[in-house]
Amino acid sequence: MSLTFVPTPLGNLRDVTLRALEALRDADLIVAEDTRVARRLLSAHGISGKALWTYHEHNAATATDEILARACVERVAVVTDAGMPGISDPGGALIAAARAAGIAVELLPGPTAFACAAVLSGFDIRRFVFEGFPPRARGARREAFAEAMARGLPTVWYESPHRIVAALADLEAVAPAARTFVLREFTKLHEQQVAGTPAEVARALPVPVRGEVVLVVDATAPAAGTAETDDAALDARIDALLATGASTAAIAKRLAAAGSGDRQALYAKVMQRRGTFSAAARPEAERNGFGEAESS
């Protein structure tokens, strides 16, 4: 028969399409990230008597074959807790498995929180990067933010409410002046939009933080800034990469690839910044071998 991926409202249960409701009513089986969340949506729109199965990252390996077996003979709808199935959940792997098995796959258009947050940020998003969730470990998270800043494009991240404050602290450590925007509980009663530096945004969040969180970081250089402003932005990116322990050659190569200038000139610039690296960071830099000779 078929496997239909059905986007669901990000928060407000009225933000559901007519086609989505039709697909849910017609489905013989609904596969949900959390059946409790799915039942609330179905109940709100008068849909009852549906078989529901759970499908998430912890059971995807064992549940996939059974879901596909049902899709061969019945109409199966797949939903996530909010937004588009397949984004930051195992739905993409299910689509790949269905195609490999020759099962028809249909995807209905619908909401994605990261695109909405990017628009609400007010940043120049003619080009931007969706990064998914940042790493959980502090060092890896800081490195991910530093690499994102070096690309010179706005980046959009999903983050757990339990980790967003720590993530903002790590962003502040590598790019304290970065323009930052957080969208929390989008379309829900307690929606919050906060813009500012990482520290300013962190201070504006409630304690404890609750709900779905999207983080947008602007790494673009000012379009009409002075030479001093442009130099300051480049210095900030270099310092962020130095903080990760990257070599001079690697930083120069990465910045050149991001369009920040000539690689040889950037190498000299990085060497200069390394020499003025903060006194607090210098001992750690020496432990990581920054004092060794490098070649381009």
Q: List, for residues 130-184, the tens digit of each pLDDT value.
A: 999 999 999 999 999 999 998 889 999 999 999 999 999 999 999 999 999 999 9
**Residue ranges of the domains in the chain?**
2-107, 113-218, 227-287
Of residues 292 and 3, which shows the higher confidence score?
Answer: 3
d(CA 136, CA 157): 13
Q: What is the DSSP letter of 289?
A: T
Its pTM stands at 0.74
Half-sphere exposure of 79 (CA within 13 A, CB side): 28
Please classify residue 41 by burial: count the beta carbons closer than 10 Å to its beta carbon, then call 0-12 exposed, 13-18 middle and 19+ buried: buried
The predicted-structure confidence for 191-240, as pLDDT tens digits, reads as follows 999 999 999 999 999 999 999 999 999 998 544 343 444 677 788 788 88
Instruction: Give residue 294's pLDDT band: very low, low, confident or very high (50, 70, 90).
Output: very low
| Structure tokens belonging to residue 97 | 């498995």
- Asked if 289 and 242 count as a contact pair (C-beta separation under 8 A), the reply is no
- Indicate the helix (H) or strand (E) that contains 214: strand 213-218
CATH fit for domain 2-107, picks 3.40.1010.10, 3.30.1600.10, 3.30.413.10, 3.90.550.10: 3.40.1010.10
CA dihedral angle for residue 82, residue 23, residue 92, residue 218, rounded to 10 degrees: -40
Q: What is the CATH architecture assignment of 113-218?
A: 2-Layer Sandwich (3.30)
CB count, 10 Å around CB of 174?
26
Residues forming a β-bridge with 53:
31
Percent of the chain whose predicted confidence (pLDDT) is above 90 = 68
